[in-house]
Structure formats: C-alpha cells, structure tokens
C-alpha cells in the first residue's frame, strides 16, 4: 500500500468505521453491530433517519476511495456499507419492539447480506461503490420489509 495522505487516512477511518473493519473475524458483522448500537442509542426517529441518509450519502465516495486505497474489489475491511444496511433495516421500526425483535433484525440482515437474494446478487457485481454499498442497501430494504411485516402481524394478532 502506498504512503497514505491525511485524506486517505480519514477515508479509511470512516470506511472501516474507526477500525471495526480490521476485525479479523467477520468484519461486516462488526460493522452491523455498530449499526444496531446506533439504532439503540439514537432516541429520536427523525435523528435516526437523518443519520441513515447521511451515512448512505457518504458511503458511496468513502467506499470508492477505500477500495482504491486497498486495491481490492469490495475489500472486507470496508464496513460502512454493512453499517448503512443495518441502519436501513431499522428505519421506522419503533423502539418498543424489544430486544428479541432487534436481534431478529440483526440476524435477518446478516443472512440476507450473505446470501444475496436478487437483485442484490446483480448489484454486488457493479464496480466500485455501486457494488459495495448497493447490495447492502438491497439487503437492508428486504430486512426492513420483513421486520415491518412481522411487526404489523404481531400488532394485528395481539
């Protein structure tokens, strides 16, 4: 790897979520856990929405930059995409759903992120940030739809 400039270091700082991407075992899971923590800690749904949109916006240029620095397509150390996908998973999910619901959301997102249900499998093949971030957006959207459906079913039958 070349000598890193300050802007390269800042890019990697965000792309790896302050070093979580350097976790030797399942770095994407580490990034996802940070997404769950943000969901649990941010009390305002409006603030959570703004954070989610902000992360998604910056994840594209950050992922492109980090991929160029690492010199590897969709380098596993880049976890801002997993973080963003997890935030999408919990968008508009009320906080009162409980710990089991949060754990279910985490596992549903991780499973969908790994198995790449269409069109995530096609999006993943795009070059650069479109592929890096795109498949996690799809997995996050699918996960959110599943959680919202379960939430509505629970509400209907309770």
- Output the pLDDT for position 80: 98
Structure confidence at residue 120 as a pLDDT band (50, 70, 90) = very high
**pLDDT (mean) for 106-122:** 97
Map out the domains of the chain as residue ranges.
6-156
66-89 pLDDT, tens digit per residue, is: 999 999 999 999 999 999 999 999
Residues whose CB falls within 8 Å of the CB of residue 56, separated by 6 or more in sequence, listed in order: 84, 87, 88, 133, 137
User: Average pLDDT over the chain, rounded to whole?
Assistant: 96
- Output the pLDDT for position 1: 58
**Alpha-carbon span 117 to 122, nearest angstrom:** 9
């Amino acid at each position: 790897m070349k000598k890193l400039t300050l802007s390269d270091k800042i890019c990697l700082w965000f792309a790896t979520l302050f070093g979580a991407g350097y976790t030797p075992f399942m770095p994407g899971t580490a990034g996802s856990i940070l997404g769950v923590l943000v969901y649990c800690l941010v009390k305002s749904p409006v603030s959570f929405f703004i954070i989610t949109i902000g992360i998604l916006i910056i994840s594209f240029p950050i992922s492109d930059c980090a991929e160029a620095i690492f010199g590897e397509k969709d380098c596993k150390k880049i976890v801002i995409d997993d973080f963003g996908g997890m935030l999408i998973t919990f968008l508009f999910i009320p906080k009162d759903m409980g710990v089991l619901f949060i754990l279910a959301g985490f596992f549903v997102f991780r499973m969908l992120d790994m198995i790449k249900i269409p069109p995530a499998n096609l999006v993943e093949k795009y070059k650069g940030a479109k592929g890096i971030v795109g498949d996690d957006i799809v997995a996050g959207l699918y996960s959110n739809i599943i959680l919202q459906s379960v939430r509505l079913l629970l509400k209907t039958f309770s």
